[in-house]
Amino acid sequence: MTCAPARLRIQSCLVISARRHHGFSVVELLICIGVVALLLSLALPALNAARDSAQRAICSSNLRQINVGWQGYLAEHKEQFPGTSAVPEWSYGGLDFVGPARQPVLASSKPINPYMVPDIRSASSTEMALFRCPSDAGLWTRGRYVQGRPPASELNFRTCYATYGTSYLANPLLMDSQAAGLSGDARPLFLHELTVNPSRLIVAGDPAWAYNARFSPLIPRVDARLEARWHRREDAGNALYADGSVRFMDFSSPTTDVTPSPAVR
């Protein structure tokens, strides 16, 4: 009879001991949360940098493929750049969005497209994506950017790709001799008229090349109030040059030796 209370006391102690060993105190939980938060704060910048680097590499690869289209067009048109529409800088190549659902199609009416793919009528989504920069965030009023967080775009469909069918702004001075200051007839230029070093001459790229204080006064239809900081650096981006190279640089820097003007030395 005297053993039962002792057994109950032992069982009670075991239950209490088990509870103590299988739970977390508030202090322990707060320490765990703090450690996780610290690890995330250390890891996120590295992860963001890796993501940005990967997106920049995809963008650069796209421009190299777009260069194939430019070279194919020039080879078949006596080395003369295309003259397309009132806004040749956006209609040189890329997509049209058809119908209420805005179905993407690689437009046969855009000059360099037939030289980009074997059959333009059956272009794959991968081939169409060559005109899309993964960092494309559109255009917005300069000064509204918060580090790492682009503000709302002022374009109708947010990104340049969704609005114009391409993320990459071509150099309109190559397609308008009047704007380039070479003649008054507003015709596309021939390669032999380019007197600037080809490695310096911008052909197309992220819109940051045009939307900066150095170059925006030279480029028709560019609103200098806007910017396109797609790669976290103001006035910096990828661009394709007339020698076929693709480079990432700060276009606003006075030490950057590139230009959209085809006839400077």
7 has a pLDDT exceeding 70: no
Alpha carbon distance, N-terminus to C-terminus of the chain: 110
**Range with the lowest mean pLDDT among 32-41, 80-89, 159-168?**
32-41
Q: Which residue has the higher pLDDT, 44 or 148?
A: 148
Residue with the bigger pLDDT between 51 and 185: it is 185
pLDDT at 14: 46
Encode pLDDT of 204-244 as tens digits: 999 999 999 999 999 999 999 999 999 989 999 999 999 99
Only one residue has tokens 């918060």, namely: 146
- Using DSSP, state whether 196 is helix, strand or coil: coil
Burial zone of 79 (CB within 10 Å; 0-12 exposed, 13-18 middle, 19+ buried): middle
pLDDT attached to residue 4: 54
pLDDT over threshold 70, residue 124: yes
Q: Minimal CA–CA distance to 159: which of 181, 133, 185, 129?
A: 133
φ, ψ dihedrals at 208, nearest 5°: -55, -25
pLDDT band at 9 (very low <50, low <70, confident <90, very high): low
80 pLDDT above the threshold of 80: yes
CB 130 within 8 A of CB 112: no
Contacts of 58 (CB under 8 A, 6+ apart): 133, 134
Q: State the pLDDT confidence band at 34, using cuts at 50, 70 and 90.
A: confident
CA–CA separation, 198 and 190 (whole Å)? 13
- Give pLDDT tens digits for 254-263: 889 999 999 8
The rounded percent of the chain whose pLDDT value lies above 70 is 86
Kind of pairing between the strands at 226-227 and 169-170: unpaired
Q: For all residues of the chain together, what is the average pLDDT? A: 88
Give me the count of residues in the chain. 265
**Residue 260 neighbours by CB distance under 10 Å:** 25
Cα radius of gyration (the chain): 28
pLDDT above 90 (res 264)? no
Nearest to 210 by CA among 259, 253, 145: 259
| pLDDT above 90 coverage of the chain, percent | 68
pLDDT above 70 (res 69)? yes
Least Cα distance to 207 among 239, 250, 180 occurs for 239
Q: What pTM, to 2 d.p., does this model score?
A: 0.82
Q: Does the pLDDT at position 3 exceed 70? A: no
Distance (Å, whole) CA 72 – CA 76: 6
Measure the CA–CA gap between 86 and 92, rounded to whole angstroms.
11
Give the per-residue SS3 of 150-177: CCCCCCCCCCHHHHHCCCCEECHHHHCC
- Average pLDDT rounded to a whole number, residues 83-107: 92
The H-or-E segment that residue 250 falls in is: strand 246-250
Rounded Cα distance, 186 and 169, in Å? 19
Q: Over 90: is that where the pLDDT of 86 sits?
A: no
